[in-house]
């Protein structure tokens, strides 16, 4: 049934009331008297500075930080309403326990207030119960010995989020789950840019926005396939500056939005045809010789053949990688692009001519591209297009993934993800890897902590028995495991390490990947996962096929750590009061990879607990009260052999063990994450050369600061707030290298070989094949697992060869196109056979569900809505959810703007009611010669909060990107009916 929107406006607190004479002079007096504290915006990943003014422990004002280079005092609407978030009377102030055993949208939880200790004791007893029979050892049939480790996906304890937390808190969340043997950890990043990481990392090396926010000002042409005016308003400050300097803006979007109003060329296209459009641009670039020959020859593997030979006639030679791309892109003529996307030929030519003739050009994209079953392919195509044009590694160029939540880059880097452990390094996948790791340690025992017994088998770093792929893989992952042994106080290897091939494996890192978010909820639904600890994340609204997810949430022991009683909290067994970002300190990483510090401004209200404190206490209780031990400790208990693991000494950080005073300073955890070099005082007696726990964040902490600036921040480079340019380039392009720190190594434009600290990677590969074939000059194609599968032979599937193609969404509105360009979804199960036992996706057919449904965001609301739908000033702007449709469709159905319509999809065949906005901003499109209608819905709403309404995600589909597991939110089929 439909949820009708209702809300009452919150009471105006005394300080907010105004009578008679105005303005009230105490306002300005208090403001001038108060003290200011720098913070960073908690909403999108723009990383804008917020200046908080406090007086007598209360916040008097929040506003844009005038000293901040990104926003210079400005802020978009969401953080402008910040005081209503901080002082909301709707905040949860005490831990609470559910008393109603039934769960459901219409089941009041019956909260009763409890103490933190009671909450911890309930949680730990549930964890203990769930983990009782989880095996931590198994007998190895070859060696006959017991191997000690947890299997990462078999843990019944799962953890979510969050991108709203600081780096240190995310880091501890990952540390906690690893130390209790679980890789069932996921968060928002899976749902926003998982496909970016796979698409870009396999082409460039890093899976992140290549340039940064301010860099937009250096662009001369933009291809915007996102909506920055609404989703990242401050990014548009810099786009505006570029426009004033003559830049051209091309905006592609299924619906004319606030960004489109500033575009020189706007074209609507059908959701799900992104890859075809970009391939069309690739073809145009090649056919019209708009590519940058010099760049291709010096910085890409385009001129080489598949065996690694340079071909001097690469432009015409079909054996060159360039030639292969040319052959595959050949089909994407403007006519074909029109047939697939609906962009008229003339307009497409104009777009292509504009984008390929002006330099430097910048591609902005976001969820409209990342959330598809073939998203990784579309993003790879963008990456390849920018390489062809030579737009990479230059200010004003790049493939710029706009990330959605304030610290989503940081939470991704901290790898709150099922397939990574830290800094994009994976967990051990199998025992043999751990045995090899032990050999690797033995090779240099003094530095790596291996066995120095002369009998220890030593493997050379270039052991000929390793394939090139293995070699690269180990070089990549082993140093991080080594660092984590050091920083987490645990053990990975064989014991005693003298004979790695025949000893017991003892590994405290959970082995093998966990379940990605959609599969995770199916595992929860099947009751294989019994505990879910959810921090600052609202899957009941944000997950596709949300009704299924809500059913799953009803079956699990659910702990929610939140500011408000969200839709997810409604299903919680224990609800914990979280803190607003101004109530704690820490670092966060913006979409442009700037690691910035935000300082605590006030104490949290009630019993709200900063996450660092909560995660630390939870960890300690899990260890003490639930008796959860590391595999190495079990090994010690069973055999008496002490591997030296001491996790307590290293929690929350070896830089501040609990024995050294206040255990909760984020600075200590920050140091652990980004230490530059080994400090022998930190963990005496332990050897390693890999002290930065997160390799991506290396050098963000400098224990031996030299410059006055670095000394002034005690080496915590994220705290730097100096806008003085370091050199003329910095001044010209706006790098702000003395402001905070940026990964990698403070480089502001990734792969820029002209920057003062040049890019760590200068060469790009875009052809990825399997491990028996040439991998490209710099072996970037080591990642090819995600892009190539020897078992896939269908040439229409890009995984059969590694070059992007267009593939239709799982639910395509045109059956002919669906046959010609078959969905990639079919290969998901072949690829990841571990998910066979999960519930299949409900798929609708275009004969029954004729219209395309997509979802979008509004400037005034944030993601799943808790942070804005509870703020009266923002609710006032968008009080209700709606669906947008064209006047043509509205008249076909017989509805007028403002009427309720019934929206149905295969996930929700009975449908839900929602008001419609009939708008000229949406028009029917011609796809494959037929008229196709697209409707669009903002997805911020749910059934709790000041403003409530239908969650768009009860309609969307839980099929996922084949390479990155990101759900296909943005293109599914629906039916719209008059009510």
Partner 1 sequence: MVSIYNRPSMLFDLTKCIACRACQVACKRWNKRPAEETSLNSDPATQWTNPPRLSSNTWRLVKYKLTYDEENDEVTWTFIPYSCMHCNDPPCLPVCPTKAIYKRDDGIVHIHSERCIGCGYCIEACPYKVRFFADDGYFGIKSIYKCTYCLDRLDAGLEKTACVQACPTEALEFGEYTEMHEKARQRAKAVGGYIYGDEAPLQRGSDIGTASVYVSKAPFEELGFPTEEQRISAPFVMERILLERGGLAIFGLGVLSFLGFALWRRERIGRAKMRELSKE
Site for ligand SF4 in 31-50 (CB under 6 A): 41, 43-44, 46-48
Interatomic CA distance for residues 155 and 144, integer angstroms: 25
Pick what 818 binds: ligand SF4, partner 1, none; C-beta below 5 to 8 Å, kind-dependent. none
Any idea what DSSP says for residue 214? G
27 binds partner 1 (CB under 8 A): yes
Burial class (CB in 10 A: 0-12, 13-18, 19+), 853: buried
Which residues pair with residue 39 across a beta bridge? Answer: 50
Both structure tokens of 942: 């749910």
**What mask of x and - would describe binding to partner 1 in positions 549 to 578, judged by CB under 8 A?**
------------------------------
**Non-local CB neighbours of 352 within 8 Å, separated by 6+ positions:** 280, 281, 284, 285, 334
CA–CA distance from 730 to each of 48, 127, 754, 756, 767 (Å)? 19, 51, 11, 9, 34
Residue among 668, 710, 860, 958 that touches partner 1 (CB under 8 A):
860
Question: For the chain, how are helix, strand and coil distributed in percent, rounded to 5?
Answer: 35, 15, 50
- C-beta neighbour count of 23 within 10 angstroms: 8
CB of 972 to partner 1, least distance (A): 24
19 binds partner 1 (CB under 8 A): yes
Site residues (CB under 8 A) for partner 1, limited to 892-951? 897-898, 915-921, 923
90 binds partner 1 (CB under 8 A): no
Residue among 50, 76, 351, 954 that touches partner 1 (CB under 8 A):
76
Pick what 916 binds: partner 1, ligand SF4, none; C-beta below 5 to 8 Å, kind-dependent. partner 1
H/E segment holding residue 494:
strand 492-495
Interatomic CA distance for residues 108 and 89, integer angstroms: 19
CB of 921 to partner 1, least distance (A): 6
Residue among 872, 911, 938, 945 that touches partner 1 (CB under 8 A):
872
CB of 579 to ligand SF4, least distance (A): 18
Any idea what DSSP says for residue 689? S
Pick what 439 binds: partner 1, ligand SF4, none; C-beta below 5 to 8 Å, kind-dependent. none
CB of 952 to partner 1, least distance (A): 15
Task: Considering the complex, state which of residue 377 and residue 870 has its C-beta at the smaller distance from ligand SF4.
Answer: 870
Residue among 34, 605, 850, 887 that touches partner 1 (CB under 8 A):
887
CB of 877 to ligand SF4, least distance (A): 11
CB of 539 to ligand SF4, least distance (A): 22
Task: Considering the complex, state which of residue 269 and residue 774 has its C-beta at the smaller distance from partner 1.
Answer: 269
7 binds partner 1 (CB under 8 A): yes
Interatomic CA distance for residues 369 and 397, integer angstroms: 18
Residue among 261, 288, 467, 793 that touches partner 1 (CB under 8 A):
261
Residue among 127, 194, 223, 234 that touches partner 1 (CB under 8 A):
234
H/E segment holding residue 442:
helix 431-443
Region from 214-222, 235-243, 387-395, 809-817 binding partner 1, contact rule CB under 8 A: 235-243
Residue among 37, 60, 76, 576 that touches ligand SF4 (CB under 6 A):
76
Interatomic CA distance for residues 132 and 530, integer angstroms: 12
Task: Considering the complex, state which of residue 261 and residue 707 has its C-beta at the smaller distance from partner 1.
Answer: 261
Torsion of the alpha carbons at 784, 789, 794 and 799, rounded to the nearest 10: -30
Pick what 44 binds: ligand SF4, partner 1, none; C-beta below 5 to 8 Å, kind-dependent. ligand SF4
Region from 76-84, 571-579, 796-804, 835-843 binding partner 1, contact rule CB under 8 A: 76-84
81 binds partner 1 (CB under 8 A): yes
CB of 72 to ligand SF4, least distance (A): 11
Pick what 262 binds: ligand SF4, partner 1, none; C-beta below 5 to 8 Å, kind-dependent. partner 1
351 binds partner 1 (CB under 8 A): no
Among candidate residues 974, 816, 843, the one with its CA nearest the CA of residue 339: 816
Pick what 767 binds: ligand SF4, partner 1, none; C-beta below 5 to 8 Å, kind-dependent. none
CB 737 within 8 A of CB 723: no
Residue among 529, 740, 875, 962 that touches partner 1 (CB under 8 A):
875
Pick what 43 binds: partner 1, ligand SF4, none; C-beta below 5 to 8 Å, kind-dependent. ligand SF4
CB of 362 to ligand SF4, least distance (A): 17
Task: Considering the complex, state which of residue 43 and residue 491 has its C-beta at the smaller distance from ligand SF4.
Answer: 43
Pick what 83 binds: partner 1, ligand SF4, none; C-beta below 5 to 8 Å, kind-dependent. partner 1
CB of 249 to partner 1, least distance (A): 12
Residue among 664, 767, 786, 882 that touches partner 1 (CB under 8 A):
882
CB of 566 to ligand SF4, least distance (A): 19
Dihedral sign computed on CA atoms, order 948, 952, 954, 958: negative
Site residues (CB under 6 A) for ligand SF4, limited to 231-260? 232-234
CB of 934 to ligand SF4, least distance (A): 27
Site residues (CB under 6 A) for ligand SF4, limited to 48-67? 48
Q: Name the one residue in this structure whose structure tokens are 């031990």.
A: 629
Burial class (CB in 10 A: 0-12, 13-18, 19+), 709: middle
DSSP output for 31-83: HHHSEEEEEE-SSSTT--EEEEEEETTEEEEEEE-TT-TTTTT---HHHHTHH
Q: How far apart are the first and last CA of the chain?
A: 13
Task: Considering the complex, state which of residue 27 and residue 458 has its C-beta at the smaller distance from partner 1.
Answer: 27
Interatomic CA distance for residues 400 and 410, integer angstroms: 16
Site residues (CB under 6 A) for ligand SF4, limited to 175-234? 232-234
Q: Name the one residue in this structure whose structure tokens are 């809500």.
A: 550
Site residues (CB under 8 A) for partner 1, limited to 445-474? none
Task: Considering the complex, state which of residue 390 and residue 404 has its C-beta at the smaller distance from partner 1.
Answer: 404
CB 871 within 8 A of CB 946: yes
Task: Considering the complex, state which of residue 79 and residue 967 has its C-beta at the smaller distance from ligand SF4.
Answer: 79
**Non-local CB neighbours of 430 within 8 Å, separated by 6+ positions:** 511, 512
682 binds partner 1 (CB under 8 A): no
**Non-local CB neighbours of 807 within 8 Å, separated by 6+ positions:** 275, 373, 374, 377, 796, 797, 798, 821, 822, 823, 824
Residue among 1, 23, 289, 312 that touches partner 1 (CB under 8 A):
23
Residue 915, classed as helix, strand or coil, is: strand
Both structure tokens of 539: 């899957």
Q: Which long-range contacts (CB under 8 A, 24 or more apart) does 338-341 make?
A: 338/926, 339/817, 339/927, 339/928, 339/929, 340/270, 340/273, 340/276, 340/806, 340/817, 340/821, 340/927, 340/928, 341/269, 341/270, 341/273, 341/276, 341/277, 341/927
Interatomic CA distance for residues 950 and 804, integer angstroms: 36
Residue 638, classed as helix, strand or coil, is: helix
Interatomic CA distance for residues 192 and 864, integer angstroms: 13
73 binds partner 1 (CB under 8 A): yes
Site residues (CB under 6 A) for ligand SF4, limited to 78-97? 78-79
Site residues (CB under 8 A) for partner 1, limited to 52-71? 61-64, 66, 71
CB of 697 to ligand SF4, least distance (A): 21
20 binds partner 1 (CB under 8 A): yes
Task: Considering the complex, state which of residue 253 and residue 961 has its C-beta at the smaller distance from partner 1.
Answer: 253
Task: Considering the complex, state which of residue 697 and residue 882 has its C-beta at the smaller distance from partner 1.
Answer: 882
Binding site residues, ligand SF4, CB under 6 A: 41, 43-44, 46-48, 71, 75-76, 78-79, 232-234
């Amino acid at each position: 049934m439909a949820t009708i929107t209702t809300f009452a406006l919150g009471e105006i607190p005394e300080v907010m009331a105004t009578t008679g004479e105005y303005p009230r002079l105490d306002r300005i007096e208090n403001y001038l008297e108060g003290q200011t504290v720098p913070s960073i915006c908690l909403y999108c990943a723009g990383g804008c500075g917020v200046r908080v003014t406090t007086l007598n422990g209360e916040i008097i004002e929040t506003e844009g930080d005038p000293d901040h280079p990104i926003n210079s005092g400005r802020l978009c609407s969401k953080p402008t309403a910040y005081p209503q978030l901080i002082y909301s009377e709707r905040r949860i102030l005490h831990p609470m326990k559910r008393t109603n055993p039934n769960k459901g949208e219409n089941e009041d939880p019956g909260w009763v207030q409890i103490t933190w200790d009671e909450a911890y004791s309930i949680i730990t007893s549930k964890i203990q119960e769930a983990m009782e029979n989880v095996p931590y050892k198994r007998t190895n049939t070859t060696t006959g010995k017991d191997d000690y480790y947890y299997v990462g996906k078999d843990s019944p304890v799962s953890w979510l989020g969050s991108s709203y937390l600081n780096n240190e808190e995310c880091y501890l969340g990952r540390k906690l789950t690893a130390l209790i043997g679980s890789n069932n950890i996921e968060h928002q990043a899976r749902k926003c840019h998982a496909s970016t990481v796979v698409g870009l990392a396999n082409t460039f090396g890093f899976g992140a926005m290549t340039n940064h926010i301010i860099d937009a000002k250096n662009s001369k042409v933009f291809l915007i396939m996102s909506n920055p005016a609404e989703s990242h308003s401050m990014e548009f400050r810099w786009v505006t500056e570029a426009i004033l300097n003559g830049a051209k803006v091309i905006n592609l979007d299924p619906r004319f939005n606030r960004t489109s109003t500033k575009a020189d060329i706007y074209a609507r296209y059908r959701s799900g045809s992104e890859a075809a459009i970009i391939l069309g641009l690739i073809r145009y670039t090649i056919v019209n010789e708009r590519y940058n020959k010099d760049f291709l020859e010096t910085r890409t593997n385009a001129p080489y053949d598949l065996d690694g030979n340079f071909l001097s006639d690469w432009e015409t030679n079909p054996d060159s990688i360039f030639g292969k791309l040319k052959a595959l892109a050949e089909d994407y003529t403007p006519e074909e692009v029109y047939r697939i996307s609906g962009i008229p030929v003339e307009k497409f030519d104009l777009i292509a001519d504009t984008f390929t003739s002006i330099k430097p050009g910048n591609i902005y994209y976001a969820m409209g591209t990342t959330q598809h079953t073939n998203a990784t392919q579309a993003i790879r195509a963008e990456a390849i297009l920018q390489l062809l044009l030579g737009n990479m590694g230059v200010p004003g160029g790049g493939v710029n993934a706009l990330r959605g939540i304030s610290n989503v880059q940081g939470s991704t880097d901290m790898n709150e993800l099922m397939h990574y452990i830290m800094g994009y390094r994976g967990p051990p996948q199998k025992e043999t890897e751990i045995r090899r790791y032990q050999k690797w340690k033995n090779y240099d025992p003094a530095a790596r902590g291996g066995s120095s017994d002369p009998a220890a088998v030593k493997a050379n770093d270039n052991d000929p028995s390793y394939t090139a792929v293995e070699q690269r893989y180990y070089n990549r992952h082993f140093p991080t495991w080594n660092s984590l042994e050091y920083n987490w106080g645990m053990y990975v290897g064989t014991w005693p390490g003298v004979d790695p091939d025949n000893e017991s494996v003892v590994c405290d890192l959970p082995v093998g990947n966990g379940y990605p978010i959609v599969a995770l909820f199916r595992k929860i639904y099947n009751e294989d996962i019994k505990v879910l600890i959810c921090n600052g994340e609202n899957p009941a609204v944000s997950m596709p096929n949300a009704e299924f997810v809500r059913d799953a949430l009803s079956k699990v022991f659910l702990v929610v750590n939140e500011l408000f009683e969200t839709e997810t909290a409604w299903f919680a067994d224990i609800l914990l009061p979280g803190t607003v970002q101004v109530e704690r300190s820490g670092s966060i990483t913006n979409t442009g990879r700037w690691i910035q510090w935000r300082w605590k401004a006030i104490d949290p209200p009630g019993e709200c607990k900063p996450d660092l404190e909560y995660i630390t206490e939870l960890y300690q209780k899990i260890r003490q009260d639930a008796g959860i031990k590391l595999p190495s400790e079990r090994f010690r208990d069973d055999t008496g052999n002490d591997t030296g693991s001491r996790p307590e000494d290293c929690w929350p950080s070896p830089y501040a063990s609990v024995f050294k005073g206040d255990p909760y300073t984020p600075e200590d955890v920050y140091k652990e994450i980004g230490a530059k070099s080994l400090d022998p005082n930190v963990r005496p007696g332990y050897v390693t050369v890999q002290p930065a726990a997160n390799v991506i964040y290396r050098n963000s902490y400098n224990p031996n600061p030299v410059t006055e600036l670095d000394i002034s921040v005690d080496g915590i480079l994220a705290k730097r707030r100096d806008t003085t340019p370091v050199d003329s380039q910095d001044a010209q392009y706006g790098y702000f290298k003395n402001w905070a720190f940026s990964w990698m190594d403070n480089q502001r434009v990734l792969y820029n070989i002209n920057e003062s600290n040049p890019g760590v990677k200068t060469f790009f590969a875009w052809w990825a094949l399997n491990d028996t074939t040439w991998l490209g000059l710099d072996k970037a194609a080591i990642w090819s697992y995600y892009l190539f599968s020897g078992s896939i032979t269908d040439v229409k599937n890009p995984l059969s060869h590694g070059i992007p193609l267009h593939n239709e969404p799982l639910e395509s509105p045109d059956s002919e196109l669906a046959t010609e360009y078959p969905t990639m979804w079919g290969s998901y199960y072949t690829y990841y056979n571990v998910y066979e036992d999960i519930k299949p996706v409900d798929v609708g057919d275009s004969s029954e569900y004729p219209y395309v449904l997509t979802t979008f965001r509004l400037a005034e609301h944030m993601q799943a809505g808790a942070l804005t739908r509870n703020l009266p000033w923002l609710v006032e702007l968008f009080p209700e959810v709606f669906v947008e449709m064209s006047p043509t469709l509205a008249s076909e159905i017989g509805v007028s703007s403002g009427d309720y319509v019934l929206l149905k999809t295969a996930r929700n065949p009975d449908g839900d009611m929602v008001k419609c906005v009939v708008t000229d901003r949406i028009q029917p499109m011609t796809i494959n010669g037929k008229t196709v209608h697209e409707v669009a819905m903002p997805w911020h709403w749910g059934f709790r909060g000041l403003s409530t309404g239908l969650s768009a995600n009860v309609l969307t589909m839980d099929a996922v990107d084949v390479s990155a597991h990101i759900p296909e939110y943005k293109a599914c089929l629906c039916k719209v009916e008059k009510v």
